[in-house]
Each structure stands twice: as C-alpha cells, then as structure tokens.
C-alpha cells in the first residue's frame, strides 16, 4: 500500500507498469477484477506522520494473533503456489487483476518486494533505489533467490527484532513476516488468474488475519496517517457503514470525513453486510474479485462503495 499520488521508491515502480484500479460499476465473480499492487506507503513525509501519532491512541496497533512461525509457514506455502501458478502461465500472459502486468512482471514485482523488505531489515530505513540488489537469471530464479534470502533474514532475526516498516505502531521484523504472508497470498491469486485458473482457497486463519490487516491497518490506520491523500474519498463516502461477516469473525467499517473506524462484529446500523468465507472475503477486499462476488444483505450500493473505496488505500 502507498498513498495515492505518491511515487514508490521501489524499483518496481519504474520497471513494471502499475495496474489500474477497478473501474467497473458491477461484476460477477467470474468477471475480470481490477486489483492493484500491495506495496507500501512512501514514508518520506515522516514528520507529517509523526505529527499524527498523537491521534493513533484510538486506533489499534498490531492486531495479529497468529503465531509468527505459522505466518512464515503460510508464506512458504503461498510462495510455492505462486511460483507454480506463474510457471503454468505463459510468460507474457496478462494478469487479469493487474492488466498492465504479464506473468513475468508479476514474478519480478514480488521479487522486488521481497528484496525491499530484506533491505528494510538490514538498513533500518527506507531503502533507496541504489540499495536494491540486481539479480541475474530468469524471473523464477530471481524469485527463488529473493525468497530464500528473505526467509533467511526472518530466521536469523526473529519477529521481535527492530526493523524499519511503513507502519508506525509496529517497527519489527514480525510486521514484515505478517505482511509478506498476506502479500504473497494475494499475488498467488494473481498468478492463478494469469494461468487462466480459478483463485484457490486461502487458509481460513490466514485469510481472517488478512481481513483484519486490511481493515485495521490499511483502512483504519491509513486513513489517519495519510489523511491528506484520502480526505476527498472519505468525505465523498461519509457516513458509509458496511459490515464484513465470515461466520466466525466479523468487522464493521465506518467512514467519516476524519477517518475510517473499525469495530468488531456486525453493527446494528450497518447499511450492508457482505458475507462469505474468509478466503472469499479477503479476495473481495483486495479487489481480486468483483463487487458482487460476496452475498450482500442490505444496500448493495453501500457494499459496492466500500469495494471501490479500498482502491484508494491499496495502490
């Protein structure tokens, strides 16, 4: 994730065209979604962020209850599935959820994301272009090397070790273990779509964690930390209240001109409740499926508005 209108410092922002967000008004699950990259915000405006930290006491910090070793295990599993799906796709096959990418571009993007996180841990700051390694060989070989190096860094450091991250409340290696497990799961779906296959199911516990990360980190925290970039979107969607229900867990998202607020459960005043399995809900939130992919109780236009709004927080 990065704020709208801010250029990423990762090499991928120059070497790989950035995909366009979803622009359709409605779609069935079978129709082509318009997702987006999952990268990080550009935190060069660090003073601006620090000036907002006093408002963060109302916002949750690290929410993840999953054990980091389990998250890392999911990362390994999802990376293997991503790799296999990318190899089943033709190298120049378009990625439907990121239509300006090919399957090779997708592998290169994830490789560069892994390399960026390695440098975040090593340098304890936002890496510059010149800090990023230049890997040789085929795209899959570059991916394999970056993944192996990332996992080695995680193993050597442990989740409690200090690391630079773009998320102010959590400056630890553990944040990146969680973020990379989620990043890889969503891009695995991209690879499957590029191969012309249906999206496979994400482990329910990982998917629930990913939903929580989306609504509490990307939306809730992001709406405060980067308010100036999303203020217009928040104002346009003011008073929107939508719940997400996966059976075992549920969340309610409230939009105001000031921020996004998230609460557990389905609120009585929710204008719409979108329901599905954890995996289905995760893919809906990351816009790898269309706005009509989940069951909706209540006002369908409110559910579609939330689906559309998410693109402003995850570019």
List, for residues 27-62, the tens digit of each pLDDT value: 333 333 445 555 544 433 333 334 434 443 344 433
Q: Which H, E and C letters describe 280-296, residue by residue? A: HHHHHHCCCCCCCCCEE
Long-range contacts (CB closer than 8 Å, 24 or more residues apart) made by 122-129: 122/153, 123/164, 124/162, 124/163, 124/164, 125/164, 126/9, 126/42, 126/43, 126/44, 126/164, 126/166, 127/9, 128/9, 129/9, 129/11
> Over 90: is that where the pLDDT of 152 sits?
yes
Percent of the chain with pLDDT strictly greater than 70: 79
Average pLDDT value over all residues in the chain = 85
pLDDT band at 156 (very low <50, low <70, confident <90, very high): very high
Which residue is it, tokens 């003011």?
238
What tens digit of pLDDT does each residue of 255-313 get? 999 999 999 999 999 999 999 999 999 999 999 999 999 999 999 999 999 999 999 99
Given this model, what pLDDT does residue 90 score?
98
Angstrom distance (rounded) from CA 236 to CA 291: 18
Q: How many Cβ atoms are within 10 Å of 247's Cβ, its own excluded? A: 12
Read off the pLDDT of residues 275-291 as tens digits, 9 standing for 90 and up: 999 999 999 999 999 99
Distance of alpha carbon 40 from alpha carbon 167, whole angstroms: 9
Give the pTM.
0.84
Q: Quick check: 84 pLDDT over 70?
A: yes
Q: Categorize the per-residue pLDDT at 168 as very low, low, confident or very high, splitting at 50, 70 and 90.
A: very high
Place of tokens 């999206």: 199
User: First and final CA of the chain: distance in angstroms?
Assistant: 5
What is the rounded distance in angstroms from the CA atom of residue 174 to the CA atom of residue 161?
8
Assess contact for 254 and 263: CB atoms under 8 A. Answer: yes
């Amino acid at each position: 994730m990065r704020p709208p209108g801010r250029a990423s410092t990762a090499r991928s922002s120059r070497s790989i065209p950035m995909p366009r967000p979803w622009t359709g008004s409605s779609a069935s699950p079978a129709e082509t979604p318009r997702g987006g990259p999952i990268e990080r915000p550009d935190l060069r405006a660090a003073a601006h962020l620090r000036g907002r930290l006093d408002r963060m006491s109302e916002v949750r910090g690290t929410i993840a209850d999953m054990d980091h070793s389990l998250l890392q295990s999911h990362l390994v599993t999802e990376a293997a599935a991503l790799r296999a799906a990318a190899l089943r796709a033709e190298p120049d096959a378009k990625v439907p959820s990121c239509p300006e990418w090919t399957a090779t571009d997708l592998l290169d993007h994830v490789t560069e994301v892994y390399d960026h996180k390695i440098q975040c841990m090593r340098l304890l700051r936002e890496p510059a272009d010149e800090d990023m390694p230049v890997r040789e060989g085929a795209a899959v070989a570059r991916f394999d090397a970056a993944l192996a190096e990332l996992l080695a860094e995680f193993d050597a450091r442990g989740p409690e070790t200090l690391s630079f991250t773009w998320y102010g409340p959590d400056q630890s290696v553990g944040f990146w273990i969680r973020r990379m497990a989620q990043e890889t799961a969503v891009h695995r779906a991209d690879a499957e779509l590029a191969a012309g296959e249906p999206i496979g199911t994400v482990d329910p516990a990982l998917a629930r964690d990913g939903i929580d990360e989306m609504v509490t980190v990307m939306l809730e925290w992001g709406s405060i930390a980067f308010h100036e970039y999303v203020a217009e979107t928040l104002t346009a969607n003011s008073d929107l209240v939508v719940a997400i229900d996966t059976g075992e867990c549920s969340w309610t998202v409230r939009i105001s001109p000031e921020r996004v607020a998230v609460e557990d459960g389905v609120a009585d005043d929710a204008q719409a409740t979108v329901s599905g399995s954890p995996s289905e809900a995760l893919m809906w939130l990351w816009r790898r499926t269309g706005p009509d992919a989940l069951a909706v109780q209540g006002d369908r236009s409110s559910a579609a508005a939330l689906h559309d709004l998410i693109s402003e927080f995850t570019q």
